Structure 1
């Protein structure tokens, strides 16, 4: 049971970090799930090691599956750092097609599009860049998304405003801090 719950927590964790700035709700769910997994693992380990008065607990609780829970957690956290880059690479072609479609629009706006795992809430422009705002991404007081800046590297705002982090070529991750 804890191994299955750890698998669910792992999926939520990887989902949370798959978008720029993280998916806040998925992050909260994964954190909650990991706490439940830790509680179940410790509780079942205590039951298995100490045993309860009823003999059926001693024979029904096996400890070896509990050793898999830290392995699942370690693999999840090791892989989490590369998930966002892999997801971007998988969707890059469709994101570029969406940027090209937005360039054909007179106001350069395309709203409410779904590109793989990304929900693009709107497309706007800043400093010659096409900004793809991602729904459900970012922290409570910041919006995040992708910026396609083919001309030059955009400049970060000194106070509130856009901040850019390079991804690859003309692509950047942006954060709008306010």
Structure 2
């Protein structure tokens, strides 16, 4: 569950910081006792035999942690959530590029919307609870870096999509 929580918390640009803090506490509350018990089992000969007998149950937690860490490291959670939302994102991008101003929304694909800005040929939205000191979201532009009347910086993400931060 902690590995899945970690993947979810890191599935948006800027990460869901509060989720990540809660998951971090969970990793500490689970990981420290696990390491203490493992260390005790390795130091006592009679427990080491038992550890070898049940090695499968001891290997799962570090494998789950390593897998979650590897997925976060390569950016897979953000990419997968974006790809699962691509249809809704592209539909909104097409609507905006046709000249229709974006209406207020609560969700775009799998992203809860904090606020949305747009003009003909470009729009962006901030994701609810993404980031710690600033807000993060996505922006789209029909040509080059988005020209949105809102402060922030843009980093190219995919095609016409950019990660937008208001830092």
The yes-or-no answer on 1:115 pairing with 2:109 is yes
Contact 2:97 2:121 in 1 (8 A): no
Equivalent runs, 1:25-44 vs 2, <5 Å: 25-44=18-37
Residues 1:128 and 1:98: Cα distance change in structure 2 (over 3 Å)? closer
Q: Number of paired residues?
A: 160
Greater shift after overlay, 19-28 or 35-44?
35-44
- Output one character per residue of 1:20-51: Cα deviation in whole Å (capped at 9) or x when no partner: 11011111122111111211211321443456
Instruction: State the TM-score, normalized to the length of structure 1.
Output: 0.75
- 2:157 is matched with which residue? 167
Gaps of 5+ in 2: none
Q: Is the 8 A contact 1:22 1:137 kept in 2?
A: yes
For 1:107 and 1:148, how far apart are their aligned partners in 2? 13
2:81 alignment counterpart: 87
Q: Distance in 2 between matches of 1:107 and 1:94?
A: 16
How far apart, in 2, do the equivalents of 1:35 and 1:79 lie? 20
Write the distance in 2 (CA, Å) between the matches of 1:93 and 1:149: 16
TM-score, normalised to structure 2's length? 0.79
Counterpart mapping for 1:52-131 below 5 A = 64=55, 65-80=57-72, 81-101=75-95, 108-113=102-107, 115-116=109-110, 118-125=111-118, 129-131=122-124
